Amino acid sequence: MTKIGIILGSTRPGRNGEAVARWAYQVASQRTDAEFELVDLLDYKLPHLDEVYPPSMGQYSQPHTLEWANKIASFDGFVMVTPEYNHSTSGALKNAIDFLYGEWNNKAVGFVSYGGVGGARAVEHLRLIAGELQMADVRNQVALSLFNDFENFSVFKPNEFQHQALDAMLDQVVAWSTALAPLRAKLAAA
């Protein structure tokens, strides 16, 4: 069965992303077309990128990188839950992405973002990064507004239409992850 990782892309104390990622995971877990797993960056003690060789070489030397690589390699696709900080994604998520290369290739990715303008600018940056990593970013996304989907900017209360947006994005992530399976299999056999 297709396996999708839902990556919680914030490590900040008091982060809104935890409630958002748990909501996405709860909704996704009710589906029968894929398996979903919540991946919290706090569980992976990734320092600022500390590998000697570029990730595209696949020559990882650090235990934390190997653990992260094994986790990411186990998935067929991803949902990245990202805040918007200074018109971009979080440094923690960008750093976690930058640790690896081949483990991201030929996998689909969708986005759940949150911020003053729904995290849209963070997702635009992530779409550029996904292209470089040979990932297929899906069109549908969930853009949560701190003004409309949170009470007092901190208590997550998504509007009903956000559930529909999440389902539409998950439909695409699962479909594209499944469609890309032959490419992943071809690389694994090489």
Cβ atoms within 10 A of the Cβ of 56, count? 12
What is the Cα–Cα distance from 18 to 76, expressed in whole angstroms?
22
Residue-wise pLDDT tens digits, 32-71: 999 999 999 999 999 999 999 999 999 999 999 999 999 9
DSSP H or E run through 110: strand 108-115
Cα(16)–Cα(36) distance, integer angstroms: 20
Residue with tokens 């706090």: 42
**Domain edges within the chain:** 3-189
Separation between Cα atoms, residue 14 and residue 16, nearest integer Å: 7
Architecture in CATH for domain 3-189: 3-Layer(aba) Sandwich (3.40)
CB-based contact 131:137 (threshold 8 Å): yes
Give, for all 190 residues of the chain, the pLDDT tens digit.
999 999 999 999 999 999 999 999 999 999 999 999 999 999 999 999 999 999 999 999 999 999 999 999 999 999 999 999 999 999 999 999 999 999 999 999 999 999 999 999 999 999 999 999 999 999 999 999 999 999 999 999 999 999 999 999 999 999 999 999 999 998 777 7
